[in-house]
A = this chain, B = another copy of it.
Amino acid sequence: MSTSTPASPGGKAAWAGAREALRERGLRWTPQRRLILDVLAETSGHITGAELVERCRARDAATIGSTVYRTLDVLEELGYVRHSHGADGREEYHVLPLAEHAHIGCLGCGAAWDLTWEDARELVERLEARNGFRVALGHVMIGGYCPGCEPAER
């Protein structure tokens, strides 16, 4: 069933410990959570809450939206996903967050990519020094226009 796509060093294996991670915290392993984890294990990069709900429903039509969102909250606490908001304000979850990063999104075409701590360092340090504000890079969103896109006429 699994294709030969080792991709990240973690891969599906990284999810194997999820059940234990839940147990250790006195949380439970349920069929619903299993399904959600399965779907996430096959996802790399970003996924919105709505997308996840949809994919889960494709496998089990009885999937309940609120359960998915609540599970996502739990997984975030366990560090399996991290959420932020896209340029359109929608929830966006990062699967297997290897390195926390900010998001850059084109307001024209919707293209998105990442920004690392290194890229943002000057600004992050400035805010920390000036205001004592600790930036959470995963919650940084930078909107703008990529080379091919023009700002909307005004």
Contact indicator per residue, chain A 112-154, by CB within 8 Å of chain B (1) or not (0): 0001000110110011000111111011111111110001101
**Minimal Cβ-Cβ distance residue in B for A151:** B136
Expressed in whole angstroms, the Cα–Cα distance for A84 and B141 within the complex equals 11
A85 pairs with B77, CB closer than 8 A? no
Expressed in whole angstroms, the Cα–Cα distance for A89 and B146 within the complex equals 22
B122 pairs with A104, CB closer than 8 A? no
Expressed in whole angstroms, the Cα–Cα distance for A115 and B124 within the complex equals 12
* In the assembled complex, A79 has its CB within 8 A of some CB on chain B: yes
Given A89-B85, A154-B79, decide whether A142 and B143 contact each other with a Cβ distance below 8 A.
Answer: no
Expressed in whole angstroms, the Cα–Cα distance for A45 and B40 within the complex equals 40
A142 pairs with B127, CB closer than 8 A? yes
CB-CB under 8 A from A140, the residues of chain B are 140-144
B139 pairs with A127, CB closer than 8 A? no
Expressed in whole angstroms, the Cα–Cα distance for A140 and B127 within the complex equals 15
